């Protein structure tokens, strides 16, 4: 029996118990041994819960128990998760985590400790929930230079944008509805302002380039300023608005960004709706690949965590090399990144043309007193310069 301890008995922690119970036989076969939950660490008690007698409140019990070979971190947030995980690794215990905040901030250090200890620190569930993407990047796609990763990495915002698109609603109304149904957090800031997606693309970019990409360096815009009128313009052009987290390798280095983009029907992420996530990858020898599925939620995320436990069981006392050093990767300045822009302005067409030259104007019959237009491809820097003289109501990048 491989004995594990779960830190945090919330959505993910209880999901891990459920997955282990549901598929115990096949999991044991694949892991080569049974998996037994020895402890669950939580501040709360769970009277009446079948796992009630496993619940403890003192982390020392886990850290000091040599029988515990795997620690599952499902607490979320950087602290005390970081302190607990580091201590577990230093005590020779393998760790799997679903915590993107922890991985984005301390991933390189924790990977290095696991390597030194010849054990494993795995984090498949930290990006894309149940969608396999960390393991593919670290094994299946290692023959490639990954030139682009672009993902819809946040289910809450994709749900909100889908509902705005299909039902013509305003952002605030959809958010309120999503909160009342439990789809969005009571404090939705991390999701709607793009911070969650930012940490996830920081993790993916770090894995792709093998160095530390600080999430603070990634330009991040959320969807809270997207309006029903923006969606009307997008529809008039046959486009949809999606929150993309994107990272590209250019001659000058890696460019990364999180922002709402308008996508054409030809774009592989065009049809990814509701709470689903998807990650598009372009490799220099592979070409294109797409990973699509349940990017959040109790069981999909727990499925990825348990798969990490199985991988750990298959590699006990053998480190699976993950190339992600603590050396910082400086990203290319956002001003150099290029795209087309959709703009709504309170100025007239002549003023727009005097600043931008030839543009494509977009008419929406229900909207008056403003002009909407599409620019040609230009750098962010160039766009900012030209738009400086314009009364801009909205601008959204177009891919």
- Is 72 or 296 the residue whose CB approaches ligand HSE more closely? 296
Question: Given the complex with ligand HSE, which of 34 and 297 has the nearer CB atom?
Answer: 297
Residues making up the chain, counted from first to last: 399
Does 198 interact with ligand HSE (rule: CB under 6 A)? no
Which one of residues 13, 151, 295, 300 is an interface residue with ligand HSE (CB under 6 A)? 295
Query: Cα dist. 153→14, 200, 203, 315, 389 in Å?
Result: 23, 7, 12, 29, 35
Q: Contact with ligand HSE (CB under 6 A): which of 14, 97, 156, 339?
A: 156
> Is 129 an interacting residue with respect to ligand HSE (CB under 6 A)?
yes
Q: Is 191 in the site for ligand HSE (CB under 6 A)?
A: yes
Nearer to ligand HSE, 129 or 194 (CB): 129
Nearer of residues 196 and 308 to ligand HSE, judged by Cβ = 196
* Residue 130 in the binding site for ligand HSE (CB under 6 A): no
CB of 191 to ligand HSE, least distance (A): 5
296 binds ligand HSE (CB under 6 A): yes
Q: Candidates 11-19, 49-57, 144-152, 154-162 — which segment interacts with ligand HSE by CB under 6 A? A: 154-162
Tell the smallest beta-carbon distance from residue 278 to ligand HSE (Å): 12
Least distance in Å: CB of 188 to ligand HSE? 9
Q: How many residues of this chain interact with ligand HSE, rule: CB under 6 A?
A: 8
Q: Does 162 bind ligand HSE (CB under 6 A)?
A: no
* The binder of ligand HSE chosen from 155, 194, 283, 300 (CB under 6 A): 155
Any residues with CB less than 8 A from the CB of 391 and at least 6 apart, and which? 345, 346, 347
Angle between the 171-180 and 155-167 helix axes, to the nearest 10 degrees?
Answer: 120
Give the Cα separation of 271 and 347 in Å (integer). 34
- Token representation of residue 234: 């997008």
129/372 with CB nearer ligand HSE? 129
Residues 191, 187: Cα–Cα separation, whole Å: 9
Of the pair 183, 254, the CB lying nearest ligand HSE is at 183
For residues 42 and 196, which CB has a smaller minimum distance to ligand HSE in the complex? 196
* Cα 358 from Cα 341, distance rounded (Å): 13
Please tell me whether residue 375 adopts helix, strand or coil conformation.
coil
Quote the least distance from Cβ 179 to ligand HSE, whole Å.
12
Could you give the maximum distance between any two Cα atoms of the chain, in Å?
A: 75
Q: In a 3-state reduction of DSSP, which class is residue 254? A: strand
Q: Strand pairing partners for 258? A: 220, 245
Q: Are 208 and 284 in contact (CB under 8 A)?
A: no
Among 69, 193, 196, 221, binds ligand HSE (CB under 6 A): 196
Which ranges constitute the DSSP H helices of the chain?
11-22, 24-31, 59-63, 81-90, 100-117, 134-135, 155-167, 171-180, 189-192, 195-209, 228-236, 298-314, 349-356, 380-387
Residue 123: CB minimum distance to ligand HSE, A: 12
- In the complex, what is the shortest distance from the CB of residue 4 to ligand HSE, in angstroms, rounded to a whole number? 22
Q: Is position 200 annotated as part of the catalytic site?
A: yes
Which entry of 200, 242, 249, 386 is annotated as an active-site residue?
200
- What is the DSSP code string of 258-310? EEEEEE-TTSTTTT--TTEEEEEEEETTTEEEEEEEE-SSHHHHHHHHHHHHH
What's the rounded Cα separation, in Å, for the pair 115 and 214?
A: 21
Q: How far is the CB of 183 from ligand HSE (least distance, A)?
A: 8
Nearer to ligand HSE, 99 or 337 (CB): 99
Q: Which two tokens stand for residue 194?
A: 């793009």
d(CA 364, CA 370): 10
**What element of type H or E holds 203?**
helix 195-209
Candidates 132, 182, 137; CA nearest to 159 is: 182
Q: Which stretch binds ligand HSE (CB under 6 A): 104-112, 152-160, 248-256, 344-352?
A: 152-160
| Residue 231 lies near ligand HSE (rule: CB under 6 A) | no
Instruction: Give min distance, CB of 311 to ligand HSE, in A.
Output: 20
Residues that bind ligand HSE (CB under 6 A): 129, 154-156, 191, 196, 295-296
Q: Which residues are catalytic?
A: 200
């Amino acid at each position: 029996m491989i004995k594990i301890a779960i830190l945090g008995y919330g959505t993910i922690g209880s999901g891990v118990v459920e997955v282990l119970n549901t598929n115990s036989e096949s999991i044991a076969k694949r892991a080569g041994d049974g998996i037994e939950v020895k402890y669950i660490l939580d501040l709360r008690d769970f009277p009446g819960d079948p796992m009630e007698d496993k619940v403890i409140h003192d982390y020392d019990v886990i850290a000091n128990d040599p029988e515990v070979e795997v620690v599952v971190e499902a607490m979320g947030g950087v602290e005390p998760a970081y302190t607990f995980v580091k201590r577990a690794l230093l005590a020779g215990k393998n760790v799997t985590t679903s915590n993107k905040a922890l991985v984005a901030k301390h991933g390189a250090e924790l990977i290095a400790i696991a390597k030194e200890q010849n054990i494993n620190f795995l984090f498949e569930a930290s990006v894309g929930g149940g969608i396999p993407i960390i393991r593919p990047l670290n094994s299946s796609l290692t023959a490639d230079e990954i030139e682009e990763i672009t993902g819809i990495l946040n289910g809450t915002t994709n749900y909100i944008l889908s509902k705005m698109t299909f039902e013509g609603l305003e952002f605030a109304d959809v958010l309120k509805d999503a909160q009342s149904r439990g789809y969005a957090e009571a404090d939705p800031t991390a999701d709607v302002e793009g911070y969650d997606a930012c940490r996830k693309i920081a993790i993916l970019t770090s894995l792709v380039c093998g160095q530390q990409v600080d999430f603070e360096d990634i330009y991040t815009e959320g969807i809270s300023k997207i309006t029903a009128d923006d969606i009307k313009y997008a529809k008039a052009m046959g486009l949809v608005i999606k929150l993309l987290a994107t990272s590209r390798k250019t001659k000058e280095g890696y460019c990364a960004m999180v922002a709402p983009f308008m996508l054409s029907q030809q774009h592989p992420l065009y049809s990814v709706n509701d709470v689903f996530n998807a990650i598009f990858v372009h490799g220099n020898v592979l070409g294109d690949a797409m990973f699509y599925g349940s990017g959040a939620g109790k069981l999909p995320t727990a499925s990825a965590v348990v798969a990490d436990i199985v991988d750990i069981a298959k590699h006990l006392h053998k480190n699976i090399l993950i190339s992600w050093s603590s050396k910082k990767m400086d990203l290319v300045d956002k001003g150099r990144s290029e795209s087309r822009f959709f703009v709504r302005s309170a100025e007239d067409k002549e003023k727009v043309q005097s600043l931008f030259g030839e543009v494509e104007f977009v008419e929406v019959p229900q909207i008056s007193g403003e002009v909407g237009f599409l620019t040609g491809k230009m750098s962010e820097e160039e766009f900012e310069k030209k738009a400086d003289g314009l009364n801009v109501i909205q601008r959204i990048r177009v891919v």
